[in-house]
Amino acid sequence: MSAERAFLTRLLESALKGDFLQLKTAVEDYCRQHDDITASDVLTQFKDGKRRTALHFACQSMPVNSEEEDIVNQILLSNWLPDSSLQIMLRIKDKEGLTPLMLAAQLNDRWLTEKRVMTLIQVGSKAESSSKTHSKLGLARSHTGATALHYAAGSGATAATIQAIYEAGHVAVKTSSRQGGTPLHWACAVAPPKNYSETIQSLLDCGAGINASDSSQKIPPPLIMAIAAGNDCHAKLLLQQADEREIDLTPTLDFKLPGDVTAIHMAADMNLVGALALLMDNNDKEKVASKKNAEGLSPLDLAAREGHVGCVMLLMPGDNISEQDARAFIENHSIEEIKPTILETSLKPPSNSRPSENVDSKHTEEDAEEKAVSVMAAAAEVRDSRKKVAQELKQKGNGYFAEKDWEAAAKSYSEAIEADPSDATFYSNRSACYMNMARPEDALFDAVIARHLRPNWPKAAYRMAVARLELGRFEDAAMSAWEGLQQDQENDELRSLLQKCVKKGRKEHQESRKKQTDGDEADSLR
């Protein structure tokens, strides 16, 4: 190991351990050996393969001794570095576009997160108050379009943390990431037993939109996310807050997932009695209870099929329905054919039949994006037992793939997707099968889903580029390859693919221009 590499390892390991004394000693020793290097240079220019500095690592550290002063405080508030260097450190993004504040915002320790966020924002505000050239820390966005407020919300941060980040950039509370909506969406998409009620309440106090959605990305409103995650406490809180704030929930209640699935269908199917009771308070009971989805099932049918007594009591016609009445209804209620769960009906894999040659690929990608959003919204419904089965099916598919039995491999990956639609690798693997089966449209469909499920995964970008290239969409293919290369700059496979896409695109352009020139010359001779 070279001396430079050994020093970098020592520096970053001390930061990750939260050992400020060791970190400072390492920096000072290095500076003594290199007269032209300052401590500021070391902490702003020395980075690991993911382009993370010592401050990035310090923001992720978990201190061994809680009584000692936190390393982030010591780095930023000990006056051993000039303010100008501190401002540079705060704004450095790693390979995924993450700042130190974003990393500090997503720790599992809520109180440590609060302490570090306060320190980072305190230091950052100094420059913001003295210069108009510095943008607010809270408005910085990662490569997925997420802000520090998104990461704090997705980790269940305290009200004080949410408020502090909000003050560092108000717009962030209504900013939608490419990965799944606003910070409120991120907080609401968490499955039980996690309870992020404090986080959600604070976001609402900061002006988060209860009806917020994104029609272009088909992101469902936060209430739909909470119900899809099976989190009754979150759904109830949103409904109660909407009532107290006199917010019209019509846009949310009219929102439908694929298969004409509404909030009430999901609440009934997932046994969210508290949320369902509040939803029924402001609706025509008989009309809502009998409204059918695309599979011909009403909320009452779904609740009865799953044996959810409390939900059946709320949905049955008439007043004063007893538990005994509900149980009798469940016992006598039958559905001719047992239908798949909401998750499964909304997320069927594409048909095995080859699409017609005039399929609109753009439309196909939009369908894939819609499916990916549905997967993300309902991923919490996938049980551990199904995940285990899915992994076994994946391994089975891998075996067929190694034998180049593409059809059998694709079938195994399809079965894995049915068991667990939330794993991007299943779609990526099936995409590879479809390419070998000369089905690029289907390959692109799966690649888009994989890309949305794992936005920072170079392999998904590679799959999209390969499929687009085969479809003759050279410019789009080059863009996918380039995006993947930004995530993994050492990936020779992506670099070679990008060059191939550019070369083919240039050749097509030249041939097109030649045809146009020949046509113009022919016209002039007539």
Residue 391 φ/ψ, nearest 5 degrees: -65, -35
Portion of the chain with pLDDT greater than 70, in percent: 83
Amino acid 509: pLDDT: 67
Per residue, the 3-state secondary structure of 432-474, as one string, reads HHHHHCCCHHHHHHHHHHHHHHCCCCHHHHHHHHHHHHHCCCH
Is the separation of the CB atoms in 292 and 284 below 8 Å?
Answer: no
Question: What does the domain layout of the chain look like in residue ranges?
Answer: 362-516
| Range list of H helices, 134-231 | 148-154, 159-167, 183-188, 197-205, 222-228
CA distance 200 to 364: 35
Portion of the chain with pLDDT greater than 90, in percent: 48
Is the separation of the CB atoms in 101 and 142 below 8 Å?
Answer: no
Helix (H) or strand (E) holding 129, with range, is helix 110-130
- The lowest-confidence range among 245-259, 284-298, 324-338, 343-357 is 343-357
What integer is the mean pLDDT of 143-151? 92
Helix (H) or strand (E) holding 302, with range, is helix 299-306
Tokens of 66: 């809680």
Q: pTM here?
A: 0.64
- The lowest-confidence range among 133-137, 206-210, 230-234, 335-339 is 335-339
Please write the tens of the pLDDT for every residue from 371-409. 665 555 555 555 566 788 889 999 999 999 999 999 999
CA distance 91 to 100: 8
* Cβ neighbours around 131 below 10 Å, total: 9
Our CA angle for 238, 242, 248, nearest 5°, is 130
By CB neighbour count within 10 A (0-12 exposed, 13-18 middle, 19+ buried), where does 154 fall? buried
Please write the tens of the pLDDT for every residue from 17-52. 899 999 999 999 999 999 889 999 999 999 988 899
Please write the tens of the pLDDT for every residue from 69-102. 899 999 998 888 888 888 889 999 998 899 999 9
Q: Encode 329-341: b = buried (16+ Cβ within 10 Å), e = exposed.
A: bbeeeeeeeebee
Per the rule left: phi > 0, alpha: psi between -120 and 50, beta: everything else, 169 is left
Amino acid 377: pLDDT: 52
Q: Encode 217-255: b = buried (16+ Cβ within 10 Å), e = exposed.
A: bbbbbbbbbbbbbbbbbbbbbbbebbeeeebebeebbeb
Q: Is the pLDDT of residue 226 over 60?
A: yes
CATH for 362-516 (3.30.465.10, 1.10.1040.10, 1.25.40.10, 1.10.1270.20): 1.25.40.10
- The lowest-confidence range among 107-121, 232-246, 497-511 is 497-511
Amino acid 276: pLDDT: 94
365 confidence band (pLDDT: 50, 70, 90):
low
- The lowest-confidence range among 262-276, 469-483, 512-526 is 512-526
118 Cβ neighbours under 8 A, 6+ residues apart: 160, 161, 164
What integer is the mean pLDDT of 232-249? 94
Cα–Cα distances in angstroms (integers) from residue 398 to residues 302, 412, 425, 469, in the given order: 36, 9, 11, 25
Please write the tens of the pLDDT for every residue from 415-451. 998 888 888 999 999 999 999 999 999 999 999 888 8
